Amino acid sequence: MKARSGSAGAGPGLMLGTLTVLVVALAIATLYGAYFYAAREKEMGDVQRIFYFHAPAGLACFLAFFVTFVCGIGYLATRKPGWDVMGHASAEIGLLFCLIVLVTGPFWARPVWGVWWTWEARLTTTLILFLIYSGYLLVRRYTDDPEQRARFAAVIGIVGFLDVPLVYWSVRFFRGHHPLVLKVSGGGGLEQSMRHVFLAGIATYFALYACLMVLRVRLGHAEVELRWLRERAIRGAHATRTPAGTHGGTS
Amino acid sequence: MTAPADAPGREALARATGGTASRPWILREARAVLRICLKDLRIEWRSLDNLPAMFFFALLVMVIFSFGFDFAAFSFQELGPGMLWVAFCFAGVLAFGHSFALERQADGLAGMMLAPIDPGSLYLGKFLANLVTMLIVEALILPLCAVLFSARIDAVFWPLGLAILVHTIGFAAVGTLFGAMTARTRRGDVLLPIMMMAISIPLLISAVRTTAAVFSDQPALKQAAGAWLTMASIFDVIFMTAAYITFEYVIEE
């Protein structure tokens, strides 16, 4: 069981403070860059500027689900609750970024494509990712035994991530005639000022991811600790009557 | 009803694994897989607990589709493949949920886990039983579909059979894994379709496209069918392997 040493702990607090400052600074830089520094897109106009928030959120979302995938393998291999706490945190944050992508996308698509939504490969893949990882959180919520919950979550984290390339390929092949509209990948086709802001956007979202991860993992460990303390208290109260005690904790 | 039916199952399992330590590992496991599959099929055969429900549910889906979409305005090859696979998919969900609910009643899973076999073999046995159950329902639904929607299935029997087999394997592979998982959660009846459908979306797309290609005479569709079948086979292999490996962690107490 993870026991917190001493007081509030200066180490994580300092890290969190540094990360927060970094996120705020990067966010201001990206906002400034997106609205004032980056060149105005010739055809799409100002609405294109949402790209600096939309695409980096998508990348951070993939990173988050990849971390959940790795944590799933880590948990099944070692059975250390820390992996589960991290995987859970990353899935939750990934889902948040996924939602940002899904909400900002239509605002851009409406004026540019003329529709709020189109069943194009990247969009559809993002939507399906959202469904899979919503399922991940639902299964967690409805599984009472914490140890079992961790195992189920790990399996979904692994299987769900394996599904991503297949989803992408199949939707793309299905909509074979749809033109690929945006030069998203890499930023190779971007004008220089645009590329700078795009990279700043990526840095912002990755820093935000790290910041939220530190917070959420800390919360997760606190939850585990609280559950452990509660179980110990219950066991202590009933020690004379039921020496075996109860194991399965409440969620 | 299932409690007495479970006893021969366990007996069969004991026969499958007892006194066969001298056999090569692969033969022993293959025997266990077959025994578990036959046990499930025998229970289903004797109780008929699930097959009729699956059949009528699939039939009902087709009836609902016939009112939901205008089959007079569109040809069967346009709407039929999608309708068929939605019906098969929904019927499959019933099979996967039932497959593990069955074991809970008499704690059959715990009994099987005590057997000296690989947990993966347990998965394969359950998977095989679910696959056969789904194929039976599909074999019953298809002729009905031919009658109800004037679909010419006799002319395309073998390609259609191949398309159905490859995709049903994938659905059964994913469904068996999530059936085992959601049987141990609250609201498992809701979680199973959510997880299964979300994960098997690529498979559903492929199933519909391949089946459409079978019924259609457009060369473009036919050409794509090969690529779809390859993708579906890759899906089958990936998810059967992943489920075979992770099943152990799902059924662990």
Distance from CA of B20 to the nearest CA of A (A): 31
**Which percentage of chain B shows pLDDT scores above 90?**
47
| A25/A35 Cα distance (integer angstroms) | 16
Contact B231 A173 (CB under 8 A): yes
Mutation choice for A interface testing from B123, B190, B205, B237 by most A CBs within 10 A: B205
User: What number is the average pLDDT over the span A227-240?
Assistant: 80
pLDDT at site A6: 40
Q: Is the pLDDT of residue A235 over 90?
A: no
The position carrying tokens 């997880």 is: B195
Mutation choice for A interface testing from B199, B200, B253 by most A CBs within 10 A: B199
pLDDT at site B9: 57
Q: Is the pLDDT of residue B194 over 50?
A: yes
Which of B199, B243, B249 shows the shortest C-beta gap to A154?
B249
Distance from CA of A142 to the nearest CA of B (A): 5
> What token pair was written down for B63?
């009836």
User: What is the average pLDDT value for chain B, to the nearest integer?
Assistant: 86
Q: Is the pLDDT of residue A238 over 90?
A: no
Name the residue of chain B whose CA is nearest to A171's CA. B202
pTM of the prediction?
0.83
Exposed/middle/buried for B134, CB within 10 Å: 0-12, 13-18, 19+?
buried
Distance from CA of B227 to the nearest CA of A (A): 9
Beta-carbon count within 10 A of A5 CB: 6
Q: Is the pLDDT of residue A86 over 60?
A: yes
Interface contacts A/B by beta carbons within 8 Å? 86
**Contact between A33 and A53 (Cβ < 8 Å):** no
- Name, in order, each residue with C-beta under 8 angstroms of A244's C-beta and a sequence gap of 6 or more: none
Which range (A173-177, B21-25, B141-145) has the least confidence? A173-177
B69-104 tens-digit pLDDT: 887 778 788 888 999 999 999 999 999 988 888 888
Comparing B133 with A193, the larger pLDDT belongs to B133
Which range (A4-18, A99-113, B236-250) has the least confidence? A4-18
B-chain CB neighbours of A148 within 8 Å are: 184, 252
Decide: helix, strand or coil at residue A178: coil
> What token pair was written down for B106?
């008499």
Amino acid type, A213: M
| B178/B96 Cα distance (integer angstroms) | 8
Where residue B189 falls among pLDDT bands split at 50, 70, 90? confident
Q: Is A138 on the interface with B (CB under 8 A)?
A: yes
pLDDT at site B27: 86
Q: What is the DSSP letter of A4?
A: -
| A173/B209 Cα distance (integer angstroms) | 10
pLDDT at site B16: 57
* H or E element that contains A112: helix A81-113
A58-68 tens-digit pLDDT: 999 999 999 99
Distance from CA of B123 to the nearest CA of A (A): 14
- Residue by residue, what is the 3-state secondary structure of A184-195? CCCCCCCCHHHH
Where residue B118 falls among pLDDT bands split at 50, 70, 90? confident
Q: Is the pLDDT of residue A184 over 60?
A: no
Comparing A131 with B12, the larger pLDDT belongs to A131
**Contact between B127 and B99 (Cβ < 8 Å):** no
